[in-house]
Amino acid sequence: MTTTVERPSAAGQSGERSARSLVDAVFRAREITIAGALLLLVLGTWAANPRFLSDQGVKDLLLNASILVLLAVGQSAVVITRNIDLSVGSVTGLSAFACGQFAADSGHGPGVVLLLGLGIGFVCGLVSGALVSFGRVPALVVTLGMLYVIQGVGYWWAQGEQISASEVPDGVLRLGSGSLLGVPYLPLLAFAVLAATGWFLRNYRTGRELYAIGSGPEAARLAGVPVRRRVLGAYLFSGTVAGFAGALWLARFGTVVADNAHGWELTVVSAVVVGGVAITGGTGTVWGAALGALLLTTIGSALAVLKIDAFWQGAITGALLLAAISADRIVNLRVTRALRKRSSRHGHGA
C-alpha cells in the first residue's frame, strides 16, 4: 500500500504569494506616504519660517530624532514577533543616569561609557525576554512591570540628584556635539544601527524567522523555528539598543536625571506602528519605523517653530496611531478574504 502526500498546487502557492505581495505593497506604499508627508511638513514649515532648514536647524532635527530612531529600530524587532516592549523608556533613563554617574566618578571616555550602556540594556532585555519567551508571561504584563521596576531602581539610586554636564568628561560630551564632515555623530550612529538591522532582517534566516513568528507563532514552531530563542533574541536586541540610546542621551544632553525618557515608550510604539510595522506582527520594516520616528520628531519641532501649543503634538500622534492601526486592520481583512477566495477556487478546481 502506498501513500501519497498532497502538496500545495501551483495555484495555491501563487495565491499565497499574491496575498503576501499585496501586504508588502501596501506597507511599502505607507512608507512612501510617510516620506511624502514628512517632505511636505518640512517644506511647509520652512516656508513659514526659513530658519527651520538652516544648518543648525537641520542638525538639531537630526540630533533630536537620533535617539527615537534607535529605540524604534529596537522596538521593531519585538513588534515584528507579535510582542511589545514597554520598558524601553525606563531602560534608556536608567542607562543614561548610570553612565553619567560612572563617567563622572571614573573619568572614562565614550568607549567605556557606551559599553556600560550596552551592558545595562542587555541585562534588562534578558530579564524581559526570558519571562516572555520561557516564562510564557504576556509581553504587556512583563514589560509594564519592568517599566515600573526599572523606574523604581532609578529613583532609589538617584535619590533626587542629577548628573550635570560639568561633571561629565569632555570626550563623552564631544560624542554628542561633534560631527564628521558636518554630520553629527549621533545620526551617523543611528543610521549605522538602522542599516545593519534592516540588512540582517532582510538577508539572514534568523531575521526572516522573526517575521514567520509574527505571522503565526504556532506555524513557525511546527516549521522548526526556535520560537522561544528568537523572541528572547528580539528582546535582547531591543534592550541593548535602549541601553545604547541611554549612553547617547548622556552624550547629547550632558545633564541627566533618573527619569530621562519618561513616557517615551508610547512614543516609540507610535513611531513603529505609524511607520508600517503591524502591531499584530509579521510585517513592516525598520526603515519604515525610522521614518515614523523622524516624522513624529519633525512634527514636534515644526510645532515649536510655528509657536503652536505642544498639546497638538500628542493629539496628532494619537490620530496617526489610530489611522495606522485602522489601516493594518483593513489590510489584514482584505488579505484574509483574498486567501479564502483563492482557497475556495482551488478546492472547486480539485
Write out the three cell numbers for 106: 571614573
- The whole-number pLDDT of residue 74 equals 94
- The whole-number pLDDT of residue 27 equals 57
Fold of 55-326: ABC transporter involved in vitamin B12 uptake, BtuC (1.10.3470)
Distance between CA atoms of 70 and 287, rounded to whole angstroms? 11
- The whole-number pLDDT of residue 337 equals 66
Cβ burial 97-129 (10 Å sphere, 16+ → b, else e): bbbbbbbbeeebebebbbebbbebbbebbebbb
- The whole-number pLDDT of residue 338 equals 61
Nearest to 84 by CA among 154, 23, 145: 145
- The whole-number pLDDT of residue 9 equals 43
Instruction: Tell me the three state secondary structure of residue 183.
Output: strand
Q: The cell 498532497 sits on which residue?
A: 6
Q: Is the CB of residue 259 less than 8 Å from the CB of residue 151?
A: yes
Cβ burial 231-241 (10 Å sphere, 16+ → b, else e): bbbbbbbbbbb
- The whole-number pLDDT of residue 29 equals 66
Q: Is the CB of residue 70 less than 8 Å from the CB of residue 221?
A: no
- pLDDT, tens digit, for every residue of 176-216? 888 888 889 999 999 999 999 999 998 999 889 999 998 88
Q: What are phi and psi of 184, to 5 degrees?
A: -60, 150
- The whole-number pLDDT of residue 3 equals 41
Report which residue type is found at 300.
G
3-state helix, strand, coil in the chain (%, to 5): 80, 0, 20
Q: So where are the chain's domains?
A: 55-326
Q: pLDDT under 70 in the chain at which residues?
A: 1-30, 310-311, 313, 324-325, 327-350
- The whole-number pLDDT of residue 16 equals 44
Note the pTM of the prediction, 2 decimals: 0.84
Write out the three cell numbers for 31: 512608507
Nearest to 173 by CA among 160, 190, 191, 185: 185
- The whole-number pLDDT of residue 2 equals 44
Between helix 55-80 and helix 286-305 the angle, nearest 10°, is 140
Distance between CA atoms of 68 and 74, rounded to whole angstroms? 10
Between helix 311-349 and helix 10-48 the angle, nearest 10°, is 160
Distance between CA atoms of 226 and 216, rounded to whole angstroms? 13
Q: Is the CB of residue 177 less than 8 Å from the CB of residue 278?
A: no
- The whole-number pLDDT of residue 79 equals 94
